Amino acid sequence: MHENVLDYAEKLLSKFPSELSHAMFTCTGSEANDLAYRICKAHTGGTGFIITELAYHGGTDVIAALSPSLGEHVNLGEHVRTIPAPDSYRGDPDAGKAFIENLKAVIADMQRHGIKPAALLVDTIFSSDGVFSSHAGFLKEAAEVIRAAGGLFIADEVQAGFGRTGDAWFGFQRHDVVPDMVTIGKGMGGGHPIAGLVIKPELVQELGKSRYFNTFGGNPVSTAAAKAVMEVIENENLIENAKNVGDYLQSGLRKLAEKYPVLGDIRGCGFFIGIEMVKNRETLEPATDECAKAVNGLRQKRVLISSAGPHANVLKVRPPMCFSQENADLFLKTFEEVLAEI
């Protein structure tokens, strides 16, 4: 009913492969993933969903059951299977190959139990799993594997999207893959509640037989905010900024690692960086307590980051897209002060 929605949809879709030519808007990333879940089940007739071992995809009842990072008190769905994230630091050095092998194994397990696969759903930066960005390219083969089993590939870009990885608008583009659908949110509105789903249009046909609407998803104010965000990213070259300043920040962190052995691994891309803390670089014993002290020490000095990973020993650094080299210097200086205190 309002041209803002159409104008924004056209601008948004211009950043996607041509196959992904249909947009549906929601208010939150949880809603977007919930909608993707419904579409997958309707289109494939399957019920099986595959996620990574410590994934986070949202807070609705259904999507919480696909979010093991919420903890042991939130049960996974009966038809949900998990696979390890592509961790070349603690796991197989060829993390991409191992990911594919694990994917094939859980698909076989589903089929053996009479469960038809519906989708592989992954956060393309594996944020909650501990931030893994290496071996870019393996998700293309992963998409082929799940499709051969009758399922779909969903790229969850709620965290990695809108240029944060510094080399493309969306994380899946690093893997040279065209997902069947992409969920987006968080930075999409620069703080304003808007999220959505970009999808191959033919996949919506089955869901379209039932009613779906979203009262506030894609409202004129939200789409105006989201359109403004995209214009700022373009006009201020923020994707290039994420790459350049992100590389600078990682370089500074590696110099700190030479001085502080507790910093075991520095990884990530653009403005999505993981710092894995270990007590011993040989045994890789997780430095969980030290990681918590780092998060809180930085907080006391007015720097906010968080932790992730199965051992809660990975510092997750995600600066604002406008973060400058001067800001990076301040972070590195403050981080070193905290490391010295630890």
Which sign does the torsion angle of CA 296, 302, 305, 306 carry? Answer: positive
What is the CB neighbour count within 10 angstroms for residue 99? 27
For residue 307, give the nearest of 69, 29, 30, 28 by alpha carbon.
69
Radius of gyration (C-alpha) of the chain in whole angstroms: 20
User: What's the pLDDT at 111?
Assistant: 96
Q: What is the pLDDT of residue 309?
A: 95
Residue 152: its H or E element = strand 152-156
| Concatenated DSSP letters of 262-279 | TEEEEEEETTEEEEEEBS
pLDDT at 135: 84
- Rounded CA separation 107/48 (Å): 9
| E strand or H helix at 83 | strand 80-83
pLDDT score, position 156? 98
How crowded is residue 26: how many other Cβ atoms within 10 Å of its Cβ?
Answer: 24
Rounded Cα distance between 192 and 171, Å, is 22
| Whole-structure pTM value | 0.95
* Helices 138-148 and 95-112, packing angle to 10 deg: 10
Per-residue pLDDT of the chain (342 residues), as tens digits, is 789 999 999 999 999 999 999 999 999 999 999 999 999 999 999 999 999 999 999 999 999 999 999 999 999 999 999 999 999 999 989 999 999 999 999 999 999 999 999 999 999 999 999 999 988 899 999 999 999 999 999 999 999 999 999 999 999 999 999 999 999 999 999 999 999 999 999 999 999 888 888 999 999 999 999 999 999 999 999 999 999 999 999 999 999 999 999 999 999 999 999 999 999 999 999 999 999 999 999 999 999 999 999 999 999 999 999 999 999 999 999 999 999 999
- List for the chain the helix, strand, coil content (%; round to 5): 45, 15, 40
pLDDT at 316: 97
What's residue 296's pLDDT? 98
Sketch out the chain's domains with CATH numbers.
Answer: 3-235 (3.40.640.10), 238-341 (3.90.1150.10)
Structure confidence at residue 208 (pLDDT): 86
Q: How far apart are CA 239 and CA 45, in angstroms?
A: 39
Treating both helix axes as pointing N-terminal to C-terminal, what angle do 220-235 and 238-259 enclose, rounded to 10 degrees?
70
